[in-house]
Amino acid sequence: MLFPTIDFAIFFGIVFVLNWLLAPFPRYWKLFIIVASYVFYGWWDWRFVFLLAASTTTTILGGILIHRARSERARRGWLTATVLVELGLLGWFKYYGFLSQSVDNALRSLGMHGGFPLLNVTLPVGISFFTFMGLSYVIDVFRHDLEPAKPIDVAVFVCFFPHLVAGPIVRGSELIPQIERAHRRNPRHIDFPRAAYLIMAGLFKKVVLSSYVSSAIVDPVFAAPRQHSALEVLFAIWGYAVQIYCDFSGYTDIAIGCAMLLGFRFPENFNAPYTARTLQDFWRRWHMTLSFWLRDYLYIPLGGNQGGDASLYRNLMITMVLGGLWHGAAWTFVAWGALHGVGQSIGHYRRRRRKRAGRPQLAEGRLAVAWQRFATFQYVCLGWVFFRATSFSNAFTMLGRLFDGWTTPTTLVTFPVILTIAVGIGTQYVPDQFAVKVQQAFARWGVLLQGAALAGILLVITTLGPPGVAPFIYFRF
């Protein structure tokens, strides 16, 4: 079920009303939210609700068995078993085809035949997100960072529909206490202005900005780069940077806003990532819940930056390559992760050299800051080429056209395309205080005026947006 649809509007309207009517009755409220979340997830394909149920059951049992184990060895054993089951489900549905095809290609290149059976396994929506949430829960229980919750509370935590299919990746310590106190929520305490702002901003980013730049230049250029000029390729690359930001941050804005209307707080997931001055800074701003997940459950356990330079670079590369593979079962995603790993390693090396020389880790001054932001954005865009490309051939053709395509006529770089890209990037430089002032002004309006304003914004969005709504990019991850 897509957020910007009539189906979801009707669904959420029903859930919103029953959510608050059942709030004083915790057990009935939790059962209702579980049922509603399964309806939401099963709207695309009802068969995958069994996968969600299996992942949830594994998470619940894993937490209980780890907590009840009487020895450290038994605790580690149960943790290992739970992680293997969770990753086994993820691996089968997401990586079996990639692995079997890679092995088959390798054998054929050696003149051999066979390998794994080539099966067409359908990728369930959002499997990476609820798998990572389940893993964080059992690992936190193992680390004694979290007490095991009631099974019904864990079930709500895993399947709660606002975050279910594309995040943010909420941890048990962030959401389960809210679920346990759900009966204490008060609808009068909803921050309605902020929720409305997030939902409208998310819809505008997804339906207007992302959809337009995708159809106007990104899709046609990436589909046939040899037919387009260097300038069109350059703007398509920048356009994809805007598309994926507006698409994904738009989804999480709507998710956070919907959760807020139901009385729950989710962590922020984006913080103006294209204003970053380094790749390290970028990953502190882009998909923050994944970045912090990889840091806390992969990078730090590997040793983080506690060893020498070689260990740090190794840990960065492993983390970023696996982070790339998390996004998709293709070598292009591995290359994307490796690019970010190499870039961050170079950044660490340069900052350490400056520190040892007694200089600031980053040069200051307007020109220096502007250059850092420009260079970081261009490197991020280089990575986006491999992220978006259908193959290495497609990616290298795109990059090659930046050098040999300057004599080809340019027709797709129009004023609306330039304006959309400028808005998508430029709005990230708007001070946070601007959004706060808008919300404060909206809060002072009466109910009728607020309703009229929201109706007007929706009219503008539907007018500017294309017919129909494409699925969110991160649904496939």
Residue 196 and residue 164 share a domain: no
Residue 198 and residue 183 share a domain: no
For residues 156 and 255, what is the distance between their CA atoms, to the nearest angstrom? 16
Residue with tokens 């509007």: 9
Mean pLDDT of all residues in 297-311: 89
- pLDDT band for position 270 (50/70/90)? very high
pLDDT at 107 over 80: no
For residues 427 and 449, what is the distance between their CA atoms, to the nearest angstrom? 26
Listed residues 154, 189, 224: the one ending a domain: 189
pLDDT at 2 over 60: yes
Residue 213 and residue 159 share a domain: no
Mean pLDDT of all residues in 113-128: 70
Residue 388 and residue 240 share a domain: yes
Residue 180 and residue 202 share a domain: no
For residues 71 and 326, what is the distance between their CA atoms, to the nearest angstrom? 33
Listed residues 189, 224, 246: the one ending a domain: 189
For residues 3 and 229, what is the distance between their CA atoms, to the nearest angstrom? 36
pLDDT at 116 over 60: no
Q: Is residue 23 one of the residues assigned to a domain?
A: yes
Q: Is residue 439 one of the residues assigned to a domain?
A: no
Residue 139 and residue 235 share a domain: no
**Closest Cα partner for 298 from 281, 273, 321?**
321
Residues 6+ apart with CB under 8 A from 416: 212, 216
Residue 169 and residue 197 share a domain: no
**Closest Cα partner for 161 from 232, 255, 65, 88?**
255
For residues 62 and 78, what is the distance between their CA atoms, to the nearest angstrom? 7
Handedness of CA 327, 329, 330, 335 (dihedral sign): positive
- pLDDT band for position 234 (50/70/90)? very high
Listed residues 429, 444, 464: the one ending a domain: 429
Q: Retrieve residue 415's tokens.
A: 């004023």
Q: Decide which of 107 and 452 is more confident.
A: 452
Provide the domain count of the chain.
2
The HSE-up count of residue 206 (CA atoms within 13 Å, CB side) is 27
Residue with tokens 């007694």: 358
Altogether, the residues listed in the chain come to a count of: 477
User: What pLDDT shows up at residue 118?
Assistant: 60
For residues 241 and 378, what is the distance between their CA atoms, to the nearest angstrom? 10
Per-residue pLDDT of 160-211, as tens digits, reads 999 998 879 999 999 999 999 999 999 999 999 999 999 999 999 999 999 9
User: What pLDDT shows up at residue 420?
Assistant: 96
User: What pLDDT shows up at residue 476?
Assistant: 67
The HSE-up count of residue 165 (CA atoms within 13 Å, CB side) is 26
Per-residue pLDDT of 250-263, as tens digits, reads 999 999 999 999 99
Handedness of CA 154, 155, 160, 166 (dihedral sign): positive
User: What pLDDT shows up at residue 356?
Assistant: 85
Residues 6+ apart with CB under 8 A from 223: none
- Which DSSP string corresponds to 224-267? -GGGS-HHHHHHHHHHHHHHHHHHHHHHHHHHHHHHHHTT----
What's the distance, CA 3 to chain centroid? 15
Per-residue pLDDT of 390-444, as tens digits, reads 999 999 999 999 999 898 989 999 999 999 999 999 999 999 899 999 999 999 9
Handedness of CA 434, 438, 441, 443 (dihedral sign): negative
Q: What is the chain's mean pLDDT, rounded? A: 91
Q: Is residue 132 one of the residues assigned to a domain?
A: yes
Q: Is residue 408 one of the residues assigned to a domain?
A: yes
Q: Retrieve residue 467's tokens.
A: 């017919």
Q: Which of 105-114, 202-211, 293-302, 356-365 has the lowest mean pLDDT?
A: 105-114
User: What pLDDT shows up at residue 5?
Assistant: 86
Mean pLDDT of all residues in 136-145: 96
- pLDDT band for position 363 (50/70/90)? confident
Known catalytic residues? 327
Q: Is residue 199 one of the residues assigned to a domain?
A: yes
Q: Is residue 466 one of the residues assigned to a domain?
A: no
Residue 269 and residue 414 share a domain: yes
User: What pLDDT shows up at residue 119?
Assistant: 62
- Which DSSP string corresponds to 49-104? HHHHHHHHHHHHHHHHHHHH-SSHHHHHHHHHHHHHHHHHHHIIIIIHHHHHHHHH
Q: Is residue 391 one of the residues assigned to a domain?
A: yes
User: What pLDDT shows up at residue 239?
Assistant: 97
3-state class of 120 per DSSP? coil
Handedness of CA 426, 384, 124, 301 (dihedral sign): negative
User: What pLDDT shows up at residue 470?
Assistant: 72
Residue 149 and residue 222 share a domain: no
For residues 183 and 19, what is the distance between their CA atoms, to the nearest angstrom? 10
For residues 152 and 150, what is the distance between their CA atoms, to the nearest angstrom? 5
Q: Decide which of 122 and 136 is more confident.
A: 136
- pLDDT band for position 316 (50/70/90)? very high
User: What pLDDT shows up at residue 47?
Assistant: 86
The amino acid at 176:
I
Share of the chain above pLDDT 70, in %: 95
Q: How many CB atoms lie within 10 A of CB 88?
A: 11
- pLDDT band for position 217 (50/70/90)? very high
**Closest Cα partner for 261 from 199, 206, 203, 200?**
199
Residue 47 and residue 133 share a domain: yes
Where in the sequence is the domain holding 371, given as residue range(s)? 192-277+362-429
- Which DSSP string corresponds to 338-387? HHHHHHHHHHHHHHHHHHHTTS-SS--SHHHHHHHHHHHHHHHHHHHHHH
The widest CA-to-CA distance across the chain, in whole angstroms, is: 74
Q: Helices marked H in 91-180 — which ranges?
A: 96-109, 127-142, 151-159, 161-164, 172-180
The DSSP 8-state label assigned to residue 145 in this structure reads S
- Which DSSP string corresponds to 398-416? HHHHHHH-TTS---S--HH
Residue 252 and residue 153 share a domain: no
Per-residue pLDDT of 42-69, as tens digits, reads 988 888 899 999 999 999 999 999 999 9
Task: Let me know: does 211 contact 470? Beta carbons within 8 Å.
Answer: yes
Q: Retrieve residue 132's tokens.
A: 């990572």
Residue 150 and residue 226 share a domain: no
**Closest Cα partner for 262 from 30, 435, 441, 454?**
30
Q: Is residue 394 one of the residues assigned to a domain?
A: yes
- pLDDT band for position 92 (50/70/90)? confident
Residue with tokens 């009840």: 68
